[in-house]
Each structure stands twice: as structure tokens, then as C-alpha cells.
A and B are shown apart, each in its own frame.
Chain A
Amino acid sequence: MNIIIQASYFIAAALFILGLKQMSSPVTARRGIVWAGAGMVLATLVTFFIPEIIDSDHVSTNLTLIVVAIAVGGGFAWFSGKKVAMTDMPQMIAMYNGMGGGAAATIAAVELLKATREVEAGLASSIPDALGADVTVLAILGALIGTISFSGSIIAWAKLDGRLNTSKLLPKQHFINAIVAIATIGFAVSVYLAGDLTPIIIFFALALILGVFITVPVGGADMPVIISLFNALTGLAVGFEGYVLGNAAMIIAGIVVGSAGSLLTQLMATAMNRSVLNVFFAGVGTGTVAVTDGEQGEMKEIQGQDAGILMAFASQVVIIPGYGMAVAQAQHKVWELTQLLTAKGVMVKFAIHPVAGRMPGHMNVLLAEAGVPYDMIYDMDDINADFKNTTVTLIIGANDVVNPSAKTDTSSPLYGMPILDAMDSDNVIVIKRGRGAGFSGVENPLFFADNTKMLFGDGQKATNELIQAVKEL
């Protein structure tokens, strides 16, 4: 039996890698997740037959508990995952990721508890003596990382879901974070050295608090980086606990995700011209929402009718979607507008900033949902030179990613972030709900520029006006 189990884990690990590989191309992506899913089912099923579990003193209770836990946890995730709107995807990923981190941490907790029992019974002198030094170190490390990822992801979820708006918990947050971090590491060491329960409990409590404290000050615009980082961290934690349990499939899957996630985090941070450390220690526009208006001139309003006509007679229209489009669920209307314009001979392109929305590729997913073919969608580097040939750039609910002060104003918190050069086009039409600043709280001079017209209103309603205008021509 054991050889079958080991072989199944081996196949599962191979399927995970092949699946991820296929997920990295749009053509085969769908097949990739199915393969990885097959690997997961296989690994889960054979785990029921592990000899240690079957020979356990509490085999019937434990197996019942396992089945119930899978049914409850899996059932909750199944229904929430099916129900969630595409726009709320990022926070759901954050939540599922947090659950994974929590699972890794609780595995470590069980292992450490077992070891303390052996110490109490006099079978071992310390935890490393019971588990082995390497296992103990990785168990504690995995517990630390997993716990931080767990509580941090929950905070990320709450922030993105609009349940938590604060960027500050305490005065001198970074200073306090440093103290909590040092204390956590201190107790991690004492878990290793001592053999009883108390340091373990304090260690986990501190790690939970640390995850919360680290995530709360992070600015909303930096959320994608944080979610990606926690994803990588959970992967690492899973890999470490895989070593603790001697499970190669866990090690491989965990470490692959850990390194892929780290690279992805790095790519995202680079796209925003920030270092990962910077994201943690200097939240953009944190604290008060800076709604200072009127200091840079007047915003010029345009009606949907006029804007529609302008676009219908354009030679090229570039659409820049942002989080506002997601909130308004306007992606279907945008695609309808695109089809109408295309029928009138207008060249329509979509320009996606690497960090548009709340996650990289978030906008692509929404546009794909509406039916926009992915070859109409352009990355920042491919489209930026093309704005000069563009008659109308339509910005729907995007703000910071087109803010020219990122290029010109050294005092701006956005300074240095690469942006979409919307201001190079002949006309810019901005669909926006109100006059407030963007998610980062930074004022956008583009909205006051001479060639910019504001179309105030909810993204869905405003796009509808444009559609009507184009239809009536």
C-alpha cells in the first residue's frame, strides 16, 4: 500500500507542475487547472489509506473528523467560490490563501504539541530531541510564516471587501511592528529551547498579531503585492511543513508556489516602481483621504451624447479600465460599446496597466468575462507609444495608473511609477463617479488638462449613455 501512496503523491506533484506550466499560456490554461485538480483529488484520496492513520488508536473518530472537516470546509469554499462576483475575486483569493496558511500553521501546532507530550512523558529532553533539530526549526518557521499569512490575508480580505478602512491601528505602527516581530522571533527561539506549552501559545498569538499589524498600514493600491506575497509565503510554509511530515508532494508543491509567488510579487512591485520592502514601510496616501480639489483649475464636463459622437468618428479609441469599471460591473456594457464602435470602423484597443484594479490581470479577467478577445488587450509597454495616434482615450474608473504626476512631480507619492500615457492622445474622456482623488488619495492633474473631458456618473450608466449616442448615429 505504501508504494501506491508514494507513487500517487509523485504523480500529484508532477500534475501540479504540468498544470501550472499549462496555466501560463491562455490557450492551455483551462486544461492546466483540471490537471492540477486531478492531482489534488488523487493525493487526497490515497491519504485516507496511509498506514499510520489506519493503525491509529482513534482511527474511526479521526477518519470521521477528517470527512466532516473536508465536507464543511470544502462545502463552504465551494459555495462561496461559485457565488462570488468576478469583481470580488481578489479578496476571495486572499481568503482561500489565508486558509492555506492557517492549515500549515495548525499542522505545525499539532506536531509541536505531540513533541511536548513526549517531553512531559520523559521520552525526550526537549522538542528538538523528540522531532530532530531540522524538523523543529522548519516546523517553527512554517508555523511563523503560515500564521502571518493567515491573519494578514484575513486583513487583506477585510480591506478589499470594504469591511476595514483604517490604515492605522496605533501610533508609531512601524516601531511597534518591529517590537512585535522581535518578540515573536524571541518566543520562536524559546519554543525550540523549552519543552512546554506556554511559549508555543504565546508564539502563535504573537505571530497572529504580527500578521495583522503588518497588513493594516499597507495602502490599498499596494494590496495586490501583499496578496501575492502572502500567497508565496503560504507556499513556503506548506513546503516546510511538508518536510516536517516527510511528504514530498507538499514540499514540491509548496516550494514551487513559494518561488513562483515570490517572482510574481517582485514583478508586481517593479511594475509600480516600488520595492517590496517599501510597500510595507511606506503606505501611499495612508491615513486621511486627501480630497483637495480646485487647486489645479477646472474639470471640464462633457455629456454622454457628445462623448459618444466624438468616439464614433474617431479613427482609434483606446479604453483604459480600472477598478471603477469592476465596481460598476460595466465590463459587459464596455464590450457592447466596443462592438458598436468596431462596426463603425473605429479601431478599438484596451490598455491594461500592470496593477490596474486590485490585482495584476484583474482587468483582463473581467474583460474576458464580458467576452473581449484577449488579442484586443494590450500591455502598458505595447500601447504607450500608440497613444499619440489615438483620437479618444476612454478612461473608465482608473485614476492613479494614468496620473502624469508620477512622471513630472517629484514630490508626488506616485513619483516614479510607470503610467499609461493617456495624456498623449488627442482627447481624453474620463468616466468617474465623483470629483474625489484616486485610491491612493493623490490628486490627478490629467483630469484638469485641456484635452480632458469628464463624464460624471456610475461606470455602467455612463457607458450606457455612450452606447445610446453611438446607436442613434
Chain B
Amino acid sequence: MIEGLAALYIFMLAGFTGYEIISKVPVILHTPLMSGSNFVHGIVLVGAMFALGIAETTTEQIIGFIAVLLGAGNAVGGYVVTERMLEMFKPSKKESSGEGS
């Protein structure tokens, strides 16, 4: 378990990390990066599995089932779409250093 104050530090540091990562991104990667970050919050799947895993009543199982269903959709869909997009990024043959921004 993460206790209150430690969690607060995690919140803060993670916040700065996200800001740092995206602040130097060329425009051409905005859509793939949005898609990539969309995949990363698919980690919600893990939480959904936990919620369903410890469910004790039928109602909890039904809601937990929906949670896992949705979470898996987020994670898998996010990955497939991002991977397809990034696969297409190739530099031209002559020079591969320019990023256009």
C-alpha cells in the first residue's frame, strides 16, 4: 500500500515527468504520442483485474467484468493503433537527421 504523503510525492514527480516528456515533441508525433499515452493509461486493466479478482457479490462481479472488458479494450486497442502508426515513420533515404521542427 502507498501511504498518503508518499503518494503525494509520486503524484508530483509523475506530473513533472509527463510534462517533460511531451514538451520537446515535434508536431509530427503528436497523434502517435497521444495514441501512445492512451495505451499507457491502459494500465487501468491491472486495477480492473484486481477489482474483479476480489469481487464477492454478483453485482461486483458484473461491474468488475465490465471494468476488465473496457480496460483490456483500452490496452490492446491503444497498442495496436499506436504500433500501426509508428511503423510507418521512416526518414527519407538521403538524410535522416532532420525532424522538421
Contacts and interface: CB of A to CB of B under 8 A. Distances in A.
A68 B64 CA distance: 12
B27 A81 contact: no
A408 interface: no
A255 B90 contact: no
Contacts of A258: 15, 18
A253 B43 contact: yes
A70 B14 contact: no
A56 B53 contact: yes
Given A81-B84, A96-B81, A373-B92, 11 more contacts: A27-B91, A53-B50, A62-B53, A77-B74, A93-B38, A99-B77, A102-B67, A371-B90, A375-B95, A375-B96, A375-B98
Main secondary structure of the interface of A (DSSP, over half): helix
A371 to B, nearest CB: 7
Q: How large is the interface on B (under 10, 10 to 19, 20 to 34, 35 or more residues)?
A: 35 or more
B38 A231 contact: yes
B29 to A, nearest CB: 6
A134 B17 CA distance: 24
Interface in B58-92: 59-61, 63-92
B36 to A, nearest CB: 5
A121 to B, nearest CB: 12
A114 interface: yes
B50 A84 contact: no
Contacts, number: 411
Interface in A214-259: 227-228, 231, 234-235, 238-239, 241-243, 245-259
A163 interface: no
Nearest to B95: A375
Contacts of A70: 45, 49, 68, 72
A77 B80 contact: yes
A21 interface: yes
Contacts of B26: 25-26, 379
Interface in B5-47: 7, 10-11, 14-19, 21-47
Contact of B33 (A73, A80, A264, A352): A264
Contacts of A93: 31, 34-35, 38, 78, 81
A66 B55 CA distance: 11
Given A57-B56, A110-B63, A361-B27, A245 B42 contact: no
Interface in A429-472: none
A261 interface: yes
A29 interface: yes
Nearest to B78: A96
Main secondary structure of the interface of B (DSSP, over half): helix
A131 to B, nearest CB: 12
B53 A238 contact: no
A66 B90 contact: no
A11 interface: no
Given A40-B42, A235-B37, A69 B69 contact: yes
Given A33-B36, A96-B74, A252-B10, A69 B52 contact: yes
Contacts of B11: 239, 251, 255
Contacts of A40: 39, 42-43, 45, 75, 79
Contact of B19 (A16, A249, A260, A268): A260
A80 B77 contact: yes
B24 A374 contact: no
A52 B49 CA distance: 11
B44 A250 contact: yes
A369 interface: yes
Nearest to A241: B47
A59 B61 CA distance: 11
A176 B67 CA distance: 30
Given A30-B86, A259-B18, A89 B35 contact: yes
Interface string A337-377: 00000000000000010100001111011001101011111
A253 B89 contact: no
A44 interface: yes
Given A33-B86, A62-B61, A44 B45 contact: yes
Contacts of B24: 24
Given A26-B99, A40-B75, A247-B50, A255 B18 contact: yes
A361 B28 contact: yes
A117 interface: yes
A43 B43 contact: yes
9 contacts: A19-B36, A20-B33, A26-B99, A62-B61, A77-B77, A110-B51, A246-B1, A254-B44, A258-B18
Interface string A81-109: 11010100110110111011011101101
Nearest to B12: A255
Given A47-B49, A231-B37, A239-B11, A361 B31 contact: yes
B74 A20 contact: no
Given A20-B21, A256-B17, A102 B70 contact: yes
B63 A238 contact: no
Interface in A1-51: 9, 12, 16-17, 19-21, 23-27, 29-30, 32-34, 36-37, 40, 43-44, 47-48, 50
A253 B40 contact: yes
